[in-house]
Structure 1
């Protein structure tokens, strides 16, 4: 019933309840009024009929009494004839006939008929008395008179009985109608009580049909307020509360959907942030490796491993363009596939495949569906590749290679990932270039060091051959020179000079090489007395420091001497040049040049020859000798 009521609007329910109550009341009141009026009408009809019958009976009784009086007057000879007595009987009969027509009670009708018959007999007696009296039979007249008196008395008594019965009938009818009225009143009261009960029940149903959905709304709102966005309120009708519940459910569903979408977006943003954080960490690791590792091969291999681990990829490989610019050669690859491809010298022609395309076009290329990319070339060692991206390695305005990243899931690379990969690729390219330059600079520096050492050794050899000492010590001085060096030095000194390291003969003797620009220019031999004990670490450190400083000082002295010699040479050259430029005469210039060359270089002879074209013009050769 409640569900049925909830199909109606709240307004319709309230209005319908009041309308039903009004209709029940309105229906009960007319019935009560009609029944009351009907009973009153019936009672009034009975009263009216009985009253009229009573009046007619009383009139008939009066006429019967008048007829007896007139008959008595006739017998007493007061009146000449019994006409008036007979006329009164006729009127009494007329009254009784009317009474018979009014009465519906069979008993009373039977008594009225009996009265009419008696009146008929009474009228016959009057006629008989008149006839007998006319005949002069007074005895018979007396007998008829007595009979008429008895009959008249009987008629009067009967009329009184009928009147009394009529009055009793009115009382009985009144009592009956009153009882019926009371019964009907009780019935109406019962009907109205039933209507009231129905109204109360209807009111309770209406109240329940309103309060229950309101309670459901309250419970749903509280659950919703506690964070249960999946809360739904039962909808069992089409009233305002049901519409409100539907709106609430729709709102809750929309909010739940929005919240789920928001959570999904937050999760996606979190994943994106985590992925970008991983990208940034990978970029930082690659940058750190680029700044810390100067070996290009080790840098490349470690970088691809970092990128694969940070991006959680299936495979990462790095290609470098060869010297001819025709092939992109695999230089590093992750996993077993990378090892196999490196072992077989895997390479891709520049301009072909995603690697070659990326190098030629100097931009990244993404294959979200690897199998359907028209440029990509599949590799047998990587059968699980589903998506791939190739990123060029750009350094100082040129492309030195490309980075390939592959994953076993579709659509693994978006623009953000490729942007980070491009940054790492550029960093890596610069680092590779720097490593190459560093290797080249190291080679150049090593060559320069070798050349500088050779020059230093040559200079010291010249100094050694020119002047100096092979060694200074207690007991004598040995002149420098190859022969003296080999003959005058001890084996430990020669070993220290050749090895460039401290040589210990025993606990007391040391041979320490003197170095200048990594070239051994001499040896210091130190000996402690037998009572001096072994060389301590502190003493060895002090010896190293002093010998290093000795080497630096000797090198500085050599450089100073070289500088002085260059200055002297420059002065001599400047003087010679000044003498040569002191004249504009060709013969004098040539003669002065020959003289200065012979003098400066301490030559036995110096000659200047001019070309045959100049000789034909009169210029001879000039020479000067000792």
Structure 2
């Protein structure tokens, strides 16, 4: 559009960091800094810059190259720049420079509007995640399956570097790893920077050990924007790119049922809106874990009662002690899956 209104070769540069959605990894289209000197000068000055060069003479004519660059700035924040180059002239008239400024202003308005729409959609997807997690785990009665679904959904929606879920049994001194999710080459726009990432990264954590263990011990959220500056952080060989981390306890009342551990390969990665969504997710997950545990306890109690009934039946049908003991041991092994069952 610019080239149709103002004659010349048009170059555009955008500062993609300004438009980057939280935690979303994409390939950059533009370099981190503009390569054209005209753009650099315009951005530094904060206004239109133009220059005319006299080139080598060709016969009786002198070839001229001139350019005009205009920054795209919104409330003091540089979004990008536009430069028009004329290799053989002529010079830019004031009317053309004014038009170029107005075009840059229109582009800024369009960019801001598009970015706001993109951010709103991104946040809507995050909110939908809470509903989706609730729907998917509502009828999941196995904690391991529940943890696998939750970690995958969070990682795929937020694009975090690492998501893991741990549970804590009453009276236990260690957390039990349940499931984790990390990006894979097929899900990422770029290949991993430091070798191939494993699909599952497990961690053994004692209560009070590291960020995960401390969050479980205290029952409070821990947010670290730069893990290199926090002595509580435990470096994990399989997660070398972690830069920031948040650990959310899974609580029912004052009881800690486990923790949700989320790591990012970017510093200061957790926006306040992200933390609100993650806290809501942690509450939802805690209720689901408690429900799964209650079901497991009820199922186990039912199996115990069924075992008692079968043992009673076996006792009434067998008068030989050895046969009776073998039947009880076999029933106990089958019902509860114990590796060994001995009766003395």
Query: Which residue of the partner structure matches residue 300 of structure 1?
Result: 147
Counterparts of residues 425-504 of structure 1 (less than 5 Å): 425-451=282-308
Aligned partner (choices 219, 222, 227) of residue 365 of structure 1: 222
Structure 1 residues 385 and 430: CA distance shift in structure 2, 3 A:
same
1:439 Cα deviation from its structure 2 partner: 0.6
Q: From the CA coordinates, give the structure whose radius of gyration is larger.
A: 1
SS of the residue corresponding to residue 430 of structure 1 reads helix
Counterparts of residues 26-45 of structure 1 (less than 5 Å): none
Query: Which residue of the partner structure matches residue 249 of structure 1?
Result: 98
Aligned partner (choices 250, 259, 266) of residue 409 of structure 1: 266
Counterparts of residues 445-594 of structure 1 (less than 5 Å): 445-451=302-308
1:402 Cα deviation from its structure 2 partner: 1.1
Deviations, residues 30-87 of structure 1 (Å, cap 9, x unaligned): xxxxxxxxxxxxxxxxxxxxxxxxxxxxxxxxxxxxxxxxxxxxxxxxxxxxxxxxxx
Distance 1:368 1:392 in 2: 18
Distance 2:198 2:276 in 1: 26
Query: Which residue of the partner structure matches residue 341 of structure 2?
Result: none
Whether the aligned pair in 2 keeps the contact of 1:396 and 1:430 (CA below 8 Å) is no
Whether the aligned pair in 1 keeps the contact of 2:257 and 2:289 (CA below 8 Å) is no
1:452 Cα deviation from its structure 2 partner: 5.8
Deviations, residues 14-36 of structure 1 (Å, cap 9, x unaligned): xxxxxxxxxxxxxxxxxxxxxxx
SS of the residue corresponding to residue 136 of structure 2 reads helix
Distance 1:304 1:234 in 2: 59
Q: Is 1:234 aligned to 2:93, yes or no?
A: yes
Identify which of structures 1 and 2 has the higher relative contact order when contacts are C-alpha pairs closer than 8 Å and 6+ apart. 2
Give the count of matched residue pairs.
Answer: 215
Deviations, residues 99-128 of structure 1 (Å, cap 9, x unaligned): xxxxxxxxxxxxxxxxxxxxxxxxxxxxxx
Query: Which residue of the partner structure matches residue 382 of structure 1?
Result: 239
Aligned partner (choices 273, 293, 308) of residue 120 of structure 2: 273
SS of the residue corresponding to residue 313 of structure 1 reads coil
Structure 1 residues 411 and 275: CA distance shift in structure 2, 3 A:
farther
Query: Which residue of the partner structure matches residue 63 of structure 2?
Result: none
1:451 Cα deviation from its structure 2 partner: 4.6
Query: Which residue of the partner structure matches residue 208 of structure 2?
Result: 351
Query: Which residue of the partner structure matches residue 124 of structure 1?
Result: none
Query: Which residue of the partner structure matches residue 593 of structure 1?
Result: none
SS of the residue corresponding to residue 138 of structure 2 reads helix
Distance 2:245 2:115 in 1: 22
Query: Which residue of the partner structure matches residue 557 of structure 1?
Result: none
Query: Which residue of the partner structure matches residue 55 of structure 1?
Result: none
Larger fraction in helix: 1
Distance 1:378 1:294 in 2: 33
SS of the residue corresponding to residue 258 of structure 2 reads strand
Whether the aligned pair in 2 keeps the contact of 1:317 and 1:338 (CA below 8 Å) is no
Distance 1:357 1:339 in 2: 23
1:361 Cα deviation from its structure 2 partner: 4.2
Structure 1 residues 353 and 267: CA distance shift in structure 2, 3 A:
farther
- Relative to the length of structure 1, the TM-score reads 0.31
1:414 Cα deviation from its structure 2 partner: 0.7
- Relative to the length of structure 2, the TM-score reads 0.53
Structure 1 residues 379 and 451: CA distance shift in structure 2, 3 A:
same
Structure 1 residues 260 and 291: CA distance shift in structure 2, 3 A:
same
Segments of structure 1 that go 5 or more residues without pairing to the other structure are 1-229, 236-244, 462-480, 483-626
Whether the aligned pair in 1 keeps the contact of 2:257 and 2:286 (CA below 8 Å) is yes
Structure 1 residues 270 and 356: CA distance shift in structure 2, 3 A:
farther
Aligned partner (choices 281, 285, 306) of residue 424 of structure 1: 281
1:411 Cα deviation from its structure 2 partner: 3.1
